[in-house]
Structure 1
Amino acid sequence: MTVIKQKLTFANQDGITLSGLLESPENPTGYALFAHCFTCGKGLTSASQISRALVEQGIAVLRFDFTGLGGSDGDFANSNFSSNVADLLAAADYLSTNYQPPALLVGHSLGGTAVLVAALRLDYVKCVATIGAPAEPAHVLKQLGGKLDDIRGQGVATVQLAGRPFTIKKQFLDDVEQFQLQGQLRSLNKALLILHSPRDTTVSVDQAERLYTSARHPKSFISLDDADHLLSSKQDARYAANCIASWAERYMPAIVADVLPSEEPAKGEVIVTMREGDFLCDVRSVGHQWLSDEPLSVGGLDKGPTPYDQLLAALGTCTSMTLRMYARRKKLRLSRLVVRLTHSREHLEDCEDCLDGKNLADRIHREILIEGELSPEETERLEQIAELCPVHKTLLNHIDITTHLTKG
């Protein structure tokens, strides 16, 4: 299986550059976003193993370093749980803009708590998986031990975490203590998978119980047996990864792989083939290929113009071609020609051509900007010629559409 790995960067809400790694099969059936644990990074064993397992299931995975960690810019001391959530939202927006909205969020430890908060704000997310996650962000304060008083009293202190020094400011404490996640989980409205080890000494398994009790169905729990908190054993990480991949397949949106027709379109024929998501289409004619889609706001991927965009484009381009052809024949000097079009549907009080009695009429407004050495009579004639373009005539004529359905 070919795995495509792309190192990429994107900016968070503060303009700080974050470092990410996107791993993808050649034709992904969906996208996932992974959040690493507190003070960890995208290179952690659990992150790489989970990404690999999901890619093998056809799901592309973006994992990245939070602000001030790994390859990302920024100062960790100025980050907090809220900024982690904001980084996740920025990563989700990057995927949505450049690829496809992530349907699956996976988070490890505090990253698991962060993906739950992010999922509450992202309607397009369908399922969430957490690994060793605390039920509340404030649980992470236990890792700060005897330094809590120093941080509260002095406003800042250096703390040893996983053998490395980190500067923690009082604003971090204040930030995590403001969240009350458990009370919000009943409105999650996503499939939830909770993975936790009963031997986890960093985040006790009772935290998983609190998450599970707070959430609504569909929800699942998987015990990671004797795994440690970081899933440092590749065997444990791989087991968790395979569980997530198998579980996610049930809840990820139904997507058809990018399989294009082998035959070439005949002259005058257009072939439209379904692609990923609910709306994306591959469109081909002789010698040309393009995409058609719907915007993110209605569940599309926004990877191409909508069908009505293309309808307006057909009329606009035909208008432009017709006017330029006429101007050339009549030796008119056109220096600029711009056609702007909009489409709308209007309810009419009186309509001879109503649709199913609903009194609806389609309206296309066409505005043509012409510049050149033209007399008033020539300008008026060009306006008349615009209404003679073939697509204009087709749209005004009665069109018979025949449909024949075949099963492959």
Structure 2
Amino acid sequence: MAQSAQNPSSQQQRVIITNKHGNKLVGILHEAGTKQIVILCHGLRASKEDIIMTQLAAALENAGISSFRFDFTGNGESEGSFEFGNYWREVDDIHSVAQHFHEGNRRVISIVGHSKGANVVLLYASKYNDIKTVANLSGRYDMKAGLEDRLGKDFIERIRKEGFIELKTKSGSVDYRVTEESLKDRLNINMHEECQQIDKECRFLTVHGDADIIIPVGDAFEFAKILPNHKLHIVKGADHVYTDHLTELASIVANFLKETFAKEQG
């Protein structure tokens, strides 16, 4: 089920897709006139309006490739409640989006994810075998890492005692809660094992900044060791959100996907 409204001044359409849980997912289709389409997936606490998502969509549009950037459940304009974990729930969201376009006689040729979204697209590829090109932008290899920086020391003991940890904004208001269940959702994911389930024919691009302090660049090299049919691109000086390297990131991804698009056309 979907609704759309055409904006004649640009090749963008707002599209609403209902996922299997009944939540409406809101996204923007960048229409380049191709049957093939790329799905763009944002990271933790981000949205389809994240500058990485909008830059990627614009670069793909310039390359003549249609794309769809959308808000995961509980993020941006999409329905549902935000959860810290929800990795497999977000895999379901991608599947609902892919099915929607498939039913509309479109072919999803690639899924691209940044940060948490990168992990979600890799998990999608481990569960499904229907999208043959995946771009992992600054994804996390070790899911147990980084939690102390975000949640504080002794976070496991605190969450067991209190049932949750509240993350606050700079102004001191509550941003979101991390529950024991949502923490387990993340800790129970073994990216090494999941990546070994992925079809060997699937093509991968991993991009990572060597100045990333959120997810270390070493994670990219771990993915490179275990993913066959893999291309690794390290962006010198780039941080986790490619602050000064957005144009370079968009160019790397667009060039990689142009190869995929050419193969599809051929």
With the length of structure 1 as denominator, give the TM-score of the two structures: 0.58
Whether the 8 Å contact between 1:81 and 1:172 is mirrored in structure 2 is no
* Contact residue 76 and residue 167 of structure 1 kept, 8 A: no
Aligned to 1:241: 250
Shift in Å, 1:145: 2.7
Name 1:125's counterpart in structure 2: 131
Confirm or deny: 8 A CA contact 1:136 1:179 kept in the other structure: no
Contact 1:68 1:79 in 2 (8 A): no
> How many percent identity over aligned positions?
22
CA distance in 1, matches of 2:163, 2:262: 46
Q: Which of residues 150, 165, 174 is equivalent to 1:157? A: 165
| Shift in CA distance, 139/65, structure 1 to aligned 2, threshold 3 Å | farther
2:68 is the counterpart of 1:62: yes
CA distance in structure 1 between the partners assigned to 2:113 and 2:235 by the alignment: 15
> Helix, strand or coil: the match of 1:199?
coil
Alignment coverage as a number of residue pairs: 252
| Alignment partners' CA distance in 2, 1:13 and 1:209 | 35
Match status 1:197 vs 2:209: yes
Match of 2:16, as an amino acid?
A: T
- Report the AA paired with residue 177 of structure 1: L
Write the distance in 2 (CA, Å) between the matches of 1:17 and 1:79.
Answer: 19
Residue 213 of structure 1 deviates from its aligned partner by 0.7
Instruction: Kindly indicate whether the alpha-carbon contact (under 8 Å) linking 2:167 and 2:178 is maintained by their aligned counterparts in 1.
Output: yes
- Residues 34 and 63 in structure 1, CA contact (< 8 A), matched pair in contact too: yes
* 8 Å contact kept, 2:88–2:123: no
Q: Match of 2:80, SS?
A: coil
Q: Distance in 1 between matches of 2:145 and 2:99?
A: 28
Residues in 2 aligned to 1:162 and 1:38: alpha-carbon distance in whole angstroms: 17
**1:39 counterpart = 2:51:** no
Judging changes above 3 Å, is the alpha-carbon distance between structure 1 residues 91 and 137 closer, same or farther for their aligned structure 2 residues?
farther
Deviations 1:214-245 (A, max 9, x none): 111x2111111112211233xx1121111111
> Structure 1 residue 6: deviation in Å?
0.7
Residue of structure 2 aligned with 1:221, choices 221, 232, 244: 232
Give deviations 1:119-174, integer Å, cap 9, x for gaps. 22333312111111101444453432344433232222211378771121111111
Write the distance in 1 (CA, Å) between the matches of 2:53 and 2:169. Answer: 19
Kept after mapping to 2: 8 A contact 1:8/1:21: yes
2:113 and 2:120 in contact (8 A); partners too: yes
Partner of 2:57, secondary structure, is helix
Counterpart code for 2:159: I
What amino acid sits opposite 1:61 in the alignment?
Answer: S
After superposition, the CA RMSD in angstroms is 2.3
Q: Which has the higher contact order (CA 8 A, sep 6+)?
A: 2
Moved over 3 A (4+): 136-140, 146-149, 160-164, 252-256
Matched to 1:56, the amino acid is N
Q: Which residue number corresponds to residue 4 of structure 2?
A: none
| Partner Cα distance (1:52, 1:16) in 2 | 27
Q: Residues 115 and 20 of structure 1: is their aligned pair in 2 closer, same or farther, counting only changes over 3 Å? A: same
Cα distance, 1:86 vs structure 2: 1.4
Q: Which residue of 1 aligns with 2:3?
A: none
Structure with higher Rg: it is: 1
Number of the residue aligned with 2:29? 22
| CA distance in 1: counterparts of 2:220 and 2:97, whole angstroms | 26
Q: Which amino acid aligns with 1:203?
A: I
Distance 2:206 2:160 in 1: 33
Distance in 1 (CA, whole Å) between partners of 2:144 and 2:18 is: 27
Q: 2:180 maps to which residue?
A: 170
Match of 1:343 in 2: none
User: Do 1:141 and 1:173's aligned partners in 2 also have CA atoms closer than 8 Å?
Assistant: no
Change (3 A) 1:69 1:116: same
Taking the TM superposition and a 5 Å limit, the aligned residue runs for 1:2-401 are: 3-25=10-32, 27-28=33-34, 30-77=36-83, 80-139=86-145, 141-142=147-148, 143-146=150-153, 147-160=155-168, 165-188=175-198, 189=200, 190-216=202-228, 218-233=229-244, 236-252=245-261, 254-256=263-265
